[in-house]
Amino acid sequence: MLLHMSPSAAGGVCVYAVIGLWVVAALSNTASALLALLPRKSRAPSRPARRDVEFVIVSKASSRVLGALEETIRRVRSLFPEYKLWVIVDEGSEGIPVLRALSASPGAGFQLVVVPGWYERGAYKARALNYFIEEHVREDRWYVLLDDDSYPLDRRFLHELDEGEALVYSGVLAPRRGRSLLAWLADATRFYGDVTRSRFALRRLGKPIFGLHGDFLVVHGSVLKAIGFNTDSLAEDTWFAARLIERGVRVAQSSSLVSILSPGSVVDLWRQRGRWNVGVLRDIVKGRYPATLAFFKGLEALLWLTAPLLYFGVPLLARGGLHLLPPAARLPLALGGVLALLAYTLYPTLTMGLQGLLLSLAALPLTTLVEALSTLYSAVKLRELLSGFIVIDKSLSPAGGSLEAGHPAPTTPALYPPLHARPLGDLPRLPPLGLTSNPSSTAKPG
């Protein structure tokens, strides 16, 4: 239809379509944020911590992530010493020699699983998970699925697993700064999304209509066995959310905070965002999502695609172009703008106080520009993003290194004081595992 219009008419239709997209997004975000604030139903008294729980870390174990993997293993061992820990890597990964030696040593605290090269069920991270499910998962246990840079900051979720009829639990992501301050400020929106949209969807509806985070998922073994991860999706966590919705599996959000490491550079942030959104759009085109999930994840991806227009259009509207907006769109877009401001400032304010608020406000033009440019970067790198699993740099310092290199423990926002555990910074400091102490030891695959 647009082909038969004049250029000016076609341009007008496109502009109004984009404005309509932003209005729908603003209204849905406003509604979910307000509904998330409603009082939560009374909770059952605290139960003893579940003991039938095992922790699972999936990693590419490349030189770019070994520092983060070491930190995650040490943190899980410190906070959950009585629970079994699995580390899953692909055959041929750089870190296998040292991981294999460590896992065999007394007191290592984890068991290494190497996914053989001949295994073909699933792709990328999903392939590793599917192999673990087929070989090691039991239907009568719970499994905490982690990335190589994510770990819980408290034990509260262990006391919540008996609540209701949920068989899958998500958490609240709390980004910790990597090597890039700007990437950390951009990552702050993930915390906001968890305490608004995800909280509404998981605590009120029990359905992951906005997707799930693969950084932290607590899943009952019966669900893992029934669904698995036999998929070639680039967004395996959203693919898994789709299967949960289709099967009517109830999902809940734990009150536990989960520390995640922000990308080490702006380029790595672009690669991460690009992989997520390209993966989601690819799955939607292939018809892999039910209608509700396809709508909200598609809306999110389309907002990402139009981010450059939004970034460069706001200054024009502020300079007297407000009359270009339809009157009915002005209030929703204003609300959307306020929520976007809150999304970028809430987490830095909770973690750093007034300094965090001022810092996030001062950096807002750059932070939003970085988000807008991720779309353009992905257009240039589309073939690379579609080619397979993307490994971003998760070094903890410019020279790599481990937690002992002077990086403080992440700060828990005051809004969520630990209930069942000491603050993370008070945990006993274990000796370095040695994953990054000798770079040459991980230079070649085993």
Q: How far is CA 142 from each of CA 48, 60, 239, 259, rounded to the nearest angstrom?
A: 15, 23, 20, 20
Residue 253: the pLDDT is 93
Residue 108: the pLDDT is 74
Is there a contact between 18 and 303 (Cβ–Cβ < 8 Å)? Answer: no
Q: Hey, CA dihedral for 346, 348, 349, 350, is it positive or negative?
A: positive
pLDDT higher than threshold 70 for residue 421: no
Report, as an integer, the average pLDDT of 44-69: 84
Query: How many contiguous H segments (helices) and E segments (strands) does the chain have?
Result: 15, 8
Residue 369: the pLDDT is 85
* Residues contacting 337, CB < 8 A, separation 6+: 314
Rounded to whole angstroms, the Cα distance separating 4 from 144 reads 55
pLDDT band at 58 (very low <50, low <70, confident <90, very high): very high
Task: Return the ∠ at Cα 444 (arms to 73 and 57), rounded to 5°.
Answer: 20
Reported as a single tens digit per residue, the pLDDT across 85-127 is 999 999 988 889 888 888 887 777 899 999 999 999 988 899 9
Rounded to whole angstroms, the Cα distance separating 118 from 106 reads 31
pLDDT band at 163 (very low <50, low <70, confident <90, very high): low
pLDDT higher than threshold 90 for residue 359: yes
Phi/psi of residue 63, nearest 5 degrees:
-60, -25
Residue with the bigger pLDDT between 110 and 12: it is 110
Phi/psi of residue 406, nearest 5 degrees:
100, 10
Sequence-ordered strand ranges (E) for 159-250: 168-176, 216-220
Rounded to whole angstroms, the Cα distance separating 104 from 291 reads 47
pLDDT higher than threshold 70 for residue 367: yes
Whole-prediction pTM = 0.83
Residue with the bigger pLDDT between 397 and 376: it is 376
Residue with the bigger pLDDT between 144 and 235: it is 144
Residue with the bigger pLDDT between 152 and 425: it is 152
Residue 5: the pLDDT is 42
> At 70, which helix (H) or strand (E)?
helix 66-79
Report, as an integer, the average pLDDT of 64-86: 90
pLDDT band at 338 (very low <50, low <70, confident <90, very high): confident
Is there a contact between 64 and 272 (Cβ–Cβ < 8 Å)? Answer: no
Reported as a single tens digit per residue, the pLDDT across 228-282 is 999 999 889 999 999 999 999 999 999 999 999 998 889 999 888 888 888 888 9
Is there a contact between 288 and 233 (Cβ–Cβ < 8 Å)? Answer: yes
Residue 94: the pLDDT is 87
Of 190, 197, 173, 194, nearest to 25 (Cα)?
197
Residue 349: the pLDDT is 92
Strand ordering across the sheet containing 150-152: 111-115, 84-90, 53-58, 142-147, 216-220, 168-176, 251-261, 150-152
pLDDT higher than threshold 70 for residue 445: no
> At 256, which helix (H) or strand (E)?
strand 251-261
Q: Percentage of the chain surpassing pLDDT 70?
A: 71
CB atoms near residue 406 (< 10 Å): 8
The single-letter DSSP state of residue 253 is E
- Of the chain, the end-to-end C-alpha distance in Å amounts to 58
Instruction: Name the token pair of 360.
Output: 């996030």
Instruction: Name the token pair of 288.
Output: 């892999």
Rounded to whole angstroms, the Cα distance separating 5 from 75 reads 60
Q: Percentage of the chain surpassing pLDDT 90?
A: 40
Lowest mean pLDDT among 89-93, 122-126, 327-331, 337-341: 327-331
pLDDT band at 145 (very low <50, low <70, confident <90, very high): very high
Q: How far is CA 136 from each of CA 76, 95, 97, 322, rounded to the nearest angstrom?
A: 20, 22, 22, 59
pLDDT higher than threshold 80 for residue 432: no
Report the half-sphere exposure of 116 (CA within 13 A, side-chain side). Answer: 4
pLDDT higher than threshold 90 for residue 12: no
Q: Give the chain's mean pLDDT.
A: 78
Give CA 137 to chain center in angstroms. Answer: 23
Instruction: Name the token pair of 103.
Output: 């896992």
> At 113, which helix (H) or strand (E)?
strand 111-115
Q: Tell me the H-state helices in 233-290.
A: 236-247, 266-285
For residue 229, the SS3 value is coil
Amino acid letter at 21?
Answer: L
Most confident of 46-55, 240-249, 372-381: 240-249
If you search the block for the tokens 């932070």, which residue do you land on? Answer: 367
> At 21, which helix (H) or strand (E)?
helix 7-36
Residue 316: the pLDDT is 56
Of 340, 306, 339, 310, nearest to 325 (Cα)?
310
Q: How far is CA 400 from each of CA 41, 62, 397, 410, rounded to the nearest angstrom?
A: 46, 12, 5, 18
